[in-house]
Every structure is written in C-alpha cells, then in structure tokens.
C-alpha cells in the first residue's frame, strides 16, 4: 500500500462515526468501493467528483487527497472544509426497512448516505440535538398526494407523543409507517390517517398506545 492510500485510510478511520463502507455509500458507490480502491488499487484513481465529495466528508482540502502527479481538474477552485465550519450539518439517511421489524427507526449499521442541511435552518425548525434527527425514505403510496413513494423525510426522533396533529413515523402492527396522526381533544382519542383516500383510517386509538418513532419536519422529492 502506497503512502497516498495509507494516508487516505488513516483519515477515514480517524473520522468519528465513519468507516470505508459508510464513506463509500456517501459517494453513492457500492459498500466495498473504497476498500477496493485502497487495498486492491481499483480504481487506480478517484474521479474528480468522488474526490471532492470525499474531501467534504473528511473536512479537508481537495488537494489533500491528490495522488502523486495529480493536479486539480481544470484548475478549479479548491474548496476548504474546516472542522470548525458549522454552516452545514450532515444528517444520515437510514435504510429503515432493515430495522422496522423490531420497531427501531434507525440503526447505525444501516446508514445509506448523508444529506447536508444548513445548520441554522435545522435550528430554526427543531430544538432537538442533531443526533436525534434522521432522514428516511417513504415506502408506498398511502400518503399521496402529500408524500410519494421514495420521497425522503427529515424526522425529529424526540417527538414520540402526538401532542398535536401532524405527520409522524408510526409503528403499527409491527410495521413502520409514515402517517398523519389526528387528535380529537374532546374525546381524547387519536386517528391514524392515510392522505390517500383509498386507504381507510385507523380510528378511536388512545394516544398513549400509539408507538411513535418521530415527527416528520421536512420532505425532499425527486422531480
């Protein structure tokens, strides 16, 4: 293993909550992508986009990841990502389907990649600690037209009781679902609603009996 690969491996291993698999997924590659690059020399070099993304993830300068003889593509501006820079915060996107069976919303072993959010914006919409925020994907069409299949939603995992109407991640019949929860303040009962009228609501529930993993704060959608 040459010096470049040794340094790259050390940078990744010394970054908190990061390993080769998670870094590869962040690049949108297969879980073994960086392992092969470092230990097997395949690919021999990272392309420009992967190098820039990896520099952002490791919070280093892009030029710090150049191999011997490499130069920055077309003399593009070098972006510096300093560890003290708090303008953006990366929130993990979880593959919740792997952990839905036991009622767990997130599992560090099932991080798909990370999304960057402006830190000030996150603080404006939630007072929760950053590690209590997660992004998951919507499965199915039961929340059409509000949410579509494969939409991504930002979830506040501290909001586990339906104090007001809203869209929540609900565990019902051992299935993790994104649903609207509506509260009847007079009868003190709750209703789990699908925005798609083809799905019937689940009515007359005691709010304390609803298992909630978090409240949806934001949605992202491919166009």
The answer, yes or no, to whether residue 82 has pLDDT greater than 50, is: no
* pTM tops 0.75, yes or no: no
Q: Does residue 106 contact residue 99 with C-beta atoms inside 8 Å? A: yes
Strand ranges in 120-194 using DSSP code E only, listed in sequence order: 133-137, 152-156, 166-172, 175-184, 189-193
Question: For residues 174, 177, 179 and 181, what is the CA-based torsion angle, rounded to 10 degrees?
Answer: 30
Share of the chain above pLDDT 90, in %: 30
Domain end among 75, 97, 114: 75
Which residues, 6 or more positions from 5, have their beta carbon under 8 angstroms from its beta carbon? 37, 38, 39, 41
- Partnered with residue 91 across adjacent β-strands are 115
Share of the chain above pLDDT 70, in %: 87
Q: Could you tell me if 93 and 66 lie in one domain?
A: no
Instruction: Give the CATH number for residue 214.
Output: 2.10.109.10
* Residue 153 belongs to domain spanning: 88-220
Q: Could you tell me if 146 and 49 lie in one domain?
A: no
Q: Could you tell me if 38 and 92 lie in one domain?
A: no
Please write the tens of the pLDDT for every residue from 199-219: 999 999 998 888 898 999 999
Please write the tens of the pLDDT for every residue from 151-210: 889 999 999 888 889 999 998 777 788 999 999 888 889 999 999 999 999 999 998 888
C-alpha–C-alpha distance, residues 91 and 130, integer Å: 8
Residue 210 CA, chain-centre distance (Å), reads 24
Q: Could you tell me if 147 and 58 lie in one domain?
A: no
What is the total count of domains within the chain? Answer: 2
Residue 155 CA, chain-centre distance (Å), reads 10
Confidence tier at 66 by pLDDT (50, 70, 90):
confident
Rounded to 5°, angle at Cα 177 from 176 and 181? 125
Q: What pLDDT does 106 receive? A: 66
The answer, yes or no, to whether residue 11 has pLDDT greater than 80, is: yes
Q: Does residue 210 contact residue 192 with C-beta atoms inside 8 Å? A: yes
Region of poorest pLDDT, from 5-9, 68-72, 163-167: 68-72
Q: Could you tell me if 126 and 66 lie in one domain?
A: no
Q: What pLDDT does 86 receive? A: 56
Domain end among 50, 75, 100: 75
Q: Could you tell me if 99 and 68 lie in one domain?
A: no
Q: What pLDDT does 166 receive? A: 92
Of residues 144 and 26, more confidence is placed in 144
Q: Could you tell me if 129 and 176 lie in one domain?
A: yes
Which residues, 6 or more positions from 160, have their beta carbon under 8 angstroms from its beta carbon? 212, 213, 214
Would you tell me how many other CB atoms lie within 10 Å of the CB of residue 8? 23
Instruction: Give the CATH number for residue 65.
Output: 1.10.260
On whether residue 168 sits in a domain, the answer given is yes
């Amino acid at each position: 293993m040459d010096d470049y690969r040794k340094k790259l491996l050390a940078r990744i291993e010394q970054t908190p909550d990061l390993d080769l698999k998670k870094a590869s997924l962040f690049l949108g590659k297969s879980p073994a992508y960086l392992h092969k690059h470092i230990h097997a020399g395949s690919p021999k070099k990272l392309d420009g986009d992967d190098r820039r993304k990896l520099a952002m993830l490791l919070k280093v300068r892009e030029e710090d990841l150049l191999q011997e003889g490499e130069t920055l593509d077309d003399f593009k501006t070098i972006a510096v990502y300093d560890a003290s820079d708090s303008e953006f915060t990366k929130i993990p996107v979880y593959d919740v389907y792997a952990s839905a069976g036991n009622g767990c919303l997130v599992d560090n072993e099932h991080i798909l990649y990370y999304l960057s959010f402006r830190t000030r914006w996150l603080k404006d919409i939630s007072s929760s600690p950053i590690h209590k925020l997660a992004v998951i994907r919507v499965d199915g069409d039961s929340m059409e037209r509000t949410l579509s299949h494969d939409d991504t939603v930002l979830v506040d995992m501290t909001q586990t009781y339906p104090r007001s109407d809203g869209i929540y991640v609900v565990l019902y019949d051992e299935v993790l679902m994104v649903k609207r929860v509506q509260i009847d303040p007079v009868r003190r009962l709750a209703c789990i609603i699908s925005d798609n009228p083809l799905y019937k609501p689940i009515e007359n529930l005691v709010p304390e009996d609803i298992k909630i993993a978090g409240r949806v704060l934001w949605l992202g959608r491919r166009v």
